[in-house]
Amino acid sequence: MPGWNERMDQARGLAKIDLVLRHAMLVNVLSGEIHRSDIGIHKGQFVGIGSYTKAEQELDLEGKYVVPGLIDGHVHIESSQLCPEEFCSLLLAHGVTGAVVDPHEIANVLGVKGIRYILNSLAPLPFNGFVVLPSCVPATELETSGARLSARELKEFVGHPRVIGLGEVMDYPSVLSGQSDMVAKLELPLPLKDGHAPGIAAEDLNAYFLAGIVTEHECSTAAEARERLRRGFRLMLREGSAAKNLLDLLPAVNSENAQRCLLVTDDRHPADLLIEGSIDHLVRLAIKAGQPPVRAVQMATINAAQAMGLSGLGAVAPGYQADFVILNELESFEISAVYWRGRSVSANGKRPIFKHYGLEGLTGSVHLGPWHREKLEIKVHSKPAQSQGHSSVVRCKVNVIGIQAHSLVTSALTAELPVLENGSIVPDSEQDIAKIAVLERHQASGRIGIGFIKGLGLKMGAVASTVAHDSHNLVVAGMSDREMDLALRTVLEMGGGLCLVAGDKVIGQLPLPIAGLMTDKSPEEVAAQLERLHAAGHDLGMASDIDPFMTLAFMSLPVIPELKLTDLGLVDVSRARIMSVVIN
């Protein structure tokens, strides 16, 4: 470390420094203005703004804009289906130099081994990767995960330099009721507690905040956002691939509360990352929606750093880490170059290439136990009467999961479905209702939950995946048991991944060998394979504006209303109970 006088001289422009950015238009997130300045950098830190004539290297920006490196305040790497090295490489090309990562998904499959993998993978990268410890593994007692993490297991990671908090506390009923294991997790000496409480009553928010939980990313309306802001929460404005809430929440943001708001992606698809970007995409959306450009940048930088307790990040100012993005134009957020700790990591959108961490012990995670196709049947024990209007068809009334476009929330629907002579209830393409099943894949227990789902758009075929939040059991949906059986068997043979079936043919697949969630292939390869899968899915009738796999992945998440399906059965989320599929 340089001595006191040396540091003072560097900051004052009297001593030589490593790099000076000349003629920059600085988007100053601390003062809320844009002004012309030179920017001094030494040993990976900003030494100051002003005039610097003594530097080893000069970079004349000729009036280009400089913004701090962007920060994603809440993201699950696993949801990109990319390994951490490929994911961070892609983010750096989009100006994102840091992220708060919640390894909740891989922890549900591999437990502490999964958390260690994420931490070890992030360590050597030129990227500010921080981790919050998964608070809810399993998310509820209404599903079976591959691990169970108590405060005792999480304590191992307390004090790790990259571990900054407790991840999204989804089990808010346990918080409100003072359930002992949840209280023990909240009392771990971690500075940050991240929130996740959709649909919680306004009054219960008070207690949730008193528990030390200070952020929230599960708002879907401006009214919900205002309730959080009024109580002191830091509001995360999310725009992922499945849940898109940014534009709905922006009306709640104003000049008085904007400093309490930050941008997050949560879950982002590799094709969306490649084509649109990450937090840079959210900045563009916010500006286009009418937010002042400086405010949009603040929500992507200093606001995120302050909300997550990341001192020294998020601004271009003396003493801050020299992470910055050079823009050709501000409102379009056209990126010219990205720097981390004062050195270039990406130019003109080209992403860096990183060596991968080893995968020993991370593969071979799909175990179904003895299997036969008949397990997919839903039968009625007594043959129902013929329904009115269906003179020759026997039908049965059932509860149905209703998909809502671009939302993680589902509807609780009912429908009458055909019943075969053997008593099996079958899907109905005319009503856009498919069968859905969730198979426990961690313990080879043979457990299976079966139900019906409306809104996938399938006319024929089946789709299967081991990406199924939060416990990541094997989820399969289709229009016939035969096709569903082929799809799930193919996923089993791959050791995890995604699969599409039409008739007796597998028409698309993507192996995800890392915990059944990720691959070490490049983003370009993964995006191309997914594009082919989506095209095949659309050929089967799925709507072109719906990502079939991302949508399917959230149908087993029993913490977001109204109906979900797990390996234990159909879940009434609001009552936290298993309910019957068949309505008597």
Interval 176-189: pLDDT, tens: 999 999 999 999 99
Contact 278, 70 (CB under 8 A): yes
Tell me, yes or no, whether 256 and 399 share the same domain. no
288 and 379 co-located in one domain: no
User: Which residues constitute the domain of residue 532?
Assistant: 373-384+393-579
pLDDT in tens, 385-401: 565 554 567 999 999 99
Is the pLDDT at 551 greater than 90? The verdict is no
Query: In terms of domains, do 305 and 380 share one?
Result: no
Could you give the CA distance from residue 579 to residue 400 in angstroms, rounded to a whole number? 11
What are the tens digits of pLDDT across the range 99-135? 999 999 999 999 999 999 999 999 999 999 999 999 9
> Does residue 559 sit within a domain?
yes
408 and 303 both lie in a single domain: no
pLDDT (tens digit per residue) in 274-287:
999 999 999 999 99
169 and 246, same domain (yes or no)? yes
Check which CATH number belongs to the domain holding 90 and give it.
Answer: 3.20.20.140
> How far is the C-alpha of 432 from the C-alpha of 411, rounded, in Å?
14
Work out how many domains the chain is built from and give that number.
2
Query: What is the pLDDT averaged over residues 165-174?
Result: 93
Spatial CB neighbours of 471, under 8 Å, sequence gap ≥ 6: 108, 138, 139, 143, 144, 145, 146, 442, 556, 566, 567
Given 289, 312, 335, the domain boundary residue is: 312
Model confidence pLDDT, tens digit, residues 307-349: 999 999 999 999 999 999 999 999 999 999 999 999 999 999 9
Q: Tell me, yes or no, whether 472 and 564 share the same domain.
A: yes
- Give the per-residue pLDDT at 384: 61
| Residue length of the chain | 584
pLDDT of 311 reads: 96
pLDDT at residue 532 greater than cutoff 70 = yes
Say yes or no to pLDDT of 407 above 80.
no
Residue 549: the pLDDT is: 87
Distances (CA, A) of 424 to 83, 400, 419, 566: 41, 16, 5, 20
